[in-house]
Amino acid sequence: MGNSNSLIELQQAMLRYRTGKVALSGVSLDIHKGQFIYLIGESGAGKSTLLRMIYGGVRPTSGFMTVQGVDMRKASEQQVRTLRQRIGVVFQDHKLLFSRTVFENVALPLRVQQWKSDRLVSRARKVLQFVGLEDRLWSYPEALSGGEQQRIAIARAMVATPPIILADEPTGNLDNETATTVLNLLSALNEMGTTVITATHDLQFLESHPGRVLRLHSGSLVEDSYAGNE
């Protein structure tokens, strides 16, 4: 199934909760290395659920799904934990640790991967420079604006150079100018070769930031197209 460029494959993937509710139904798609993907659709369409499935937060109950070669229905918990080290995640509410400095937040994925301490500061500085916040290395998140917190979250997601970055409504709580900055950063990461998958309601960005559009409706994939000047 798929080819050497495939990072994520789904064939008739379904997620049914124990309550009987179907969150995703019969979704088939193939995401290649280096694509910029928009997941769009109404609230409850299945966007966040699909991101969670890619991340291993939930498993498909039927069908076929692989992420970076890992069979998500058959994988052990250890395999999923290892996979998560190769996926960066940006949440709408940042999920920063407010009792820790910006450096400690950004370096967290590297500590999980047991990087040597003497390498952590230089790597954190490098990714913070990328998001324009190198001077905030020793600040605490509460001293930052919402847009700055989101840029810190992007720095944390990219610090271990994962092949995939997932962003769940990364511009949802931001003003238009700040949201554009966040999309510009995600686009720059994509241009460097990272596959970016972002769930969004901000459809105005599809023209200025081109990408592949996957529209979900009631748990089904109903559109697969390209927006902007692709």
Q: In this predicted model, what pLDDT tens digit does every residue of 12-47 receive, in sequence order? A: 999 999 999 999 999 999 999 999 999 999 999 999
The superfamily (CATH) of domain 36-56+78-227 is: P-loop containing nucleotide triphosphate hydrolases (3.40.50.300)
**pLDDT value for 4:** 61
Chain centre to alpha carbon of residue 132:
20
Tokens of 115: 């990087």
Print the SS3 string covering 90-124.
Answer: ECCCCCCCCCCCHHHHHHHHHHHCCCCHHHHHHHH
Cβ atoms < 10 Å from Cβ of 113: 11
Q: How confident is the model at residue 228 (pLDDT cuts 50, 70, 90)?
A: confident
Q: How confident is the model at residue 78 (pLDDT cuts 50, 70, 90)?
A: very high
Is the pLDDT at 70 greater than 70, yes or no?
A: yes
Going from the C-alpha of 131 to that of each of 46, 54, 157, 169, 202, the distances in angstroms are 30, 25, 12, 18, 21
Q: Record the pTM.
A: 0.94
